[in-house]
Amino acid sequence: MTKRDDIVEKLTGITGIGTVRAQRIYDQCGKSRCIETIVNNPDYVRIHGNVPRDVVYHARETFMSNAFGLRPDTADGTWCVKDEAEIRKEFAMHWRALEAQRQYVDKIADIHRERLLSRPDVTGMHVGLWRRGGKIVCPLQYCIRVHVQRKLQVSCTDETLIATPNRYMPTPLERLIDGVRVDVLSHNYDPVSALTDKLRSKARTLRGGYAIAPDHDPDNWGTLGIRVDHLHDGMRYFLTNAHVVGSRGAQVQQPFSDARKDSLDIGSVVDAPVFDEFIDAALIADSKLRRTRGDVQSQTGKFIAKDLTQADVDRRTIVFKIGAATGRTSGRVKSINYSPKFRDVQMNRQILVEADHKIIDGGDSGAVLYVRDEEHDINIVVGLVHGKTFEKDAAGNVIRDGFGLVASPIGRVIERLKIKI
């Protein structure tokens, strides 16, 4: 039996695909790579192979578990890995197929984003790799990861749905959307700018990473990000979050104290702070420029700005932040197109970073997110941290609090505030 005959036979085994249709799919949709095309670009097969939509998506689901060259799999078609070296090896071997698959899943996610995020039980979503029990499933598969307030263990007799309606999930959630797997995880989001601990020393020289607060609300504190230069007036400012300092003209101090003599007056908030779909950012003017430093606490080297790319997600790039509450912590980039709900604001295209330990807490809002280039002693600023993630168990108890952080992409911040780092 030739390779063509073998593939045609596999296609013919799919309900709705006969011998003639299987041969047409083979000839029109990539020949020996036609099954890979079904998995990664089903719309192409639907159009060029003249295959009904429901048939091609059923075929895609059937071939999903061994989409990359039909390699031998385990008994159930998948296995789970957590080893970073093995994950990078999988990416290197199948990067073309994975790139095409991710682009397709991104397209489907964009089509259904508004509908999914409008659900009262959904707190956010992003496109990521399918996981089981916190481990990545191989063969690697992209899916739509829908975040909910609380993930429940429920039985559902309808195989097309993830869960039956309940008081936390009032309407059914599909298991597949246009042939793309839906993965549900428990994630909630909060800005991180308030703690009652006031044990912070007064600084003599301002540096990024120190605790700050508006003087009218000293308990609502966050982190001084980094010094920046304004492109229009050439003045130097400090960057932080809008939700940390409040409105334009607010006076900001370091640290925070009801007794003004115990605090260092930094300056006032300039222009109108921005808290919208893409960024949470504000600028603080400091008239005493001799006190300021361009660096970030405990981190040497030059600072430059550059946005993360999808390659950083695929390579699971390690990023760092230095916040006033938890200091220097690190995690891996999970998404650069993340859509969390923050209070009354629906944010989009945010950076999601996660770790297997606590990396953020109240008071870290305003810290810069950066990648460290040790070889050239350069710190590449990629985002401005403004929130954390936490999960809830079935009983409603908060677990894994602060194991993930959310940041605005630095390119958007720079463009909107007209600054440079």
- The position carrying tokens 């080893």 is 83
CB 405 within 8 A of CB 385: yes
Q: Pick from 409, 294, 286, 281: which is nearest to 353 by CA? A: 409
Answer left, alpha or beta for residue 363, where phi above 0 means left and psi between -120 and 50 means alpha. left
In our burial notation (b when 16+ CB lie closer than 10 A, e otherwise), range 201-218 reads eebeebbbbbbbbbbeeb
Tell me the C-alpha distance between 377 and 145, whole Å. Answer: 36
**What is the per-residue pLDDT across 270-321, written as a single tens digit (0 to 9) for each?**
988 999 999 999 999 875 654 555 678 878 889 999 999 999 998 889 999 9
pTM of the model: 0.79
Q: With bands split at pLDDT 50, 70 and 90, how would you rate the model's confidence at 328? A: very high
pLDDT above 70: residue 333: yes
- The position carrying tokens 């970030």 is 296
Q: Tell me what pLDDT residue 153 has.
A: 56
Q: Tell me what pLDDT residue 349 has.
A: 95
Tell me the C-alpha distance between 267 and 365, whole Å. Answer: 18
DSSP tag of 410: H
List CB contacts of 216: < 8 A, sequence separation 6 or more. 246, 250, 251
3-state class percentages of the chain: helix first, strand second, coil last, to nearest 5: 25, 35, 35
State the average pLDDT over residues 83-93. 82
Tell me the C-alpha distance between 20 and 63, whole Å. Answer: 19
- The position carrying tokens 């997600």 is 313
DSSP tag of 349: S
State the average pLDDT over residues 75-84. 66
Tell me the C-alpha distance between 38 and 47, whole Å. Answer: 11
CB 240 within 8 A of CB 370: no
Tell me the C-alpha distance between 218 and 258, whole Å. Answer: 7
Mean pLDDT of the chain: 83
From 45-49, 178-182, 363-367, the region with the lowest mean pLDDT: 178-182
**How many of the other CB atoms lie within 10 Å of CB of 158?**
11
Cα 229 from chain centroid (whole Å): 28
**What is the per-residue pLDDT across 116-169, written as a single tens digit (0 to 9) for each?**
998 888 899 999 998 887 788 887 889 999 998 877 655 555 655 565 555 556
CB 386 within 8 A of CB 406: yes
State the average pLDDT over residues 4-10. 90
- CA distances to 120, 130, 149, 185 from 168, rounded to whole Å, are 9, 23, 8, 13
Tell me the C-alpha distance between 368 and 358, whole Å. Answer: 17
End-to-end alpha carbon distance in the chain = 63
From 69-83, 159-173, 318-332, the region with the lowest mean pLDDT: 69-83
Tell me the C-alpha distance between 214 and 129, whole Å. Answer: 41
Q: What is the largest CA-CA distance in the chain?
A: 87
Residue 244's Cβ-count burial label (10 Å; 0-12, 13-18, 19+) is buried
Adjacent-strand bridge partners of 251:
268
Token readout for 407 is 């940041």
